Amino acid sequence: MSKRILVVEDEAPIREMLCFVLEQKGYTTVEAEDYDTAVSMLKEPFPDLILLDWMLPGGTGINFIKHLKRDEMTRNIPVVMLTARGEEEDKVKGLEVGADDYITKPFSPKELIARLKAVIRRASPTSTEEAIDVRGLRLDPVSHRVTANDQPLDMGPTEFKMLHFFMTHQERVYSREQLLNHVWGTNVYVEDRTVDVHIRRLRKALEASEHHKLVQTVRGAGYRFSTKA
């Protein structure tokens, strides 16, 4: 079954172009031209991904993501922001509020499809493997659940994949570029700064149980996952 993508864009020519490009690649698209219409489409069958413009009639993409994250049924739907706002501060704001990626207009259809594929791939459950347990932090790739001392933790698909990579590659330092390649995949247009944003989000998800201390910054080198101080 093809992946279902909700395209939220108020400019009709851009929205139609996006839907055309996506449908040519085998995706199923649904459209929303404003904030309220987009919210009304958050129902079954839920989209597999949301392509979201920053500025919308009736609200902003940032507020839409906040609405998305408040509902248990929709909080894990990956979001790619598509906007003309290209300043680094805006990108970081979009990522920190919960977006999984950020594409600045103008963009190429090839870049768009590559990024969407990468985000969808990260949102899919990791291959069937044994659950991993490190000091009470347990990650199950089959059920796509993370628990800390038997208490469920909530994290996005990118943080899940990053944690899975760390837990299966302990005690080794990885640079931002290496993490991009392992977690996001090669030939994907993602900035190094994105890694820092997702590291912060991962640590925040692990903070209540103090497992955030396992994700360590190695000054001038990158990050490692370690049970040693």
Helix axes 157-167, 109-123, angle to 10 degrees: 60
Same domain, 87 and 147: no
Domain end (from 79, 105, 123): 123
Closest Cα to residue 203, out of 143, 130, 165, 153?
153
Question: What pLDDT score does 127 carry?
Answer: 47
Question: What pLDDT score does 130 carry?
Answer: 79
Question: What pLDDT score does 186 carry?
Answer: 57
Question: What pLDDT score does 187 carry?
Answer: 57
Question: What pLDDT score does 133 carry?
Answer: 93
203-209 long-range contacts (CB < 8 A, ≥24 apart) are 205/146, 205/153, 205/154, 205/155, 205/159, 206/137, 206/148, 206/153, 208/148, 208/151, 208/153, 209/136, 209/137, 209/148, 209/149, 209/151, 209/153
Same domain, 83 and 117: yes
Would the pTM of this model clear 0.85, i.e. be above it? no
Q: What is the DSSP letter of 87?
A: -
Question: Which residue segment(s) compose the domain that 156 sits in?
Answer: 132-225
Domain end (from 72, 93, 123): 123
Question: What pLDDT score does 1 carry?
Answer: 56
Closest Cα to residue 146, out of 199, 97, 211, 197?
211
Per-residue pLDDT tens, the chain, 229 aa: give them: 578 999 999 999 999 999 999 999 999 999 999 999 999 999 878 898 999 998 899 999 999 999 998 887 788 889 999 887 767 777 778 888 888 888 888 888 998 998 898 888 777 644 446 789 999 999 998 888 999 999 999 999 999 999 999 998 888 889 998 898 888 875 566 777 889 999 999 999 999 999 999 999 999 999 999 998 7
Same domain, 12 and 117: yes
Sign of CA dihedral 84, 90, 96, 102: positive
Q: What is the DSSP letter of 213?
A: G
Question: What pLDDT score does 128 carry?
Answer: 45
Same domain, 18 and 76: yes
Cβ neighbours of residue 165 closer than 8 Å, sequence gap 6 or more: 179, 182, 183
Same domain, 150 and 176: yes
CATH number at 100 reads 3.40.50.2300
Q: Check if the beta carbon of residue 125 is closer than 8 Å to that of residue 105.
A: no
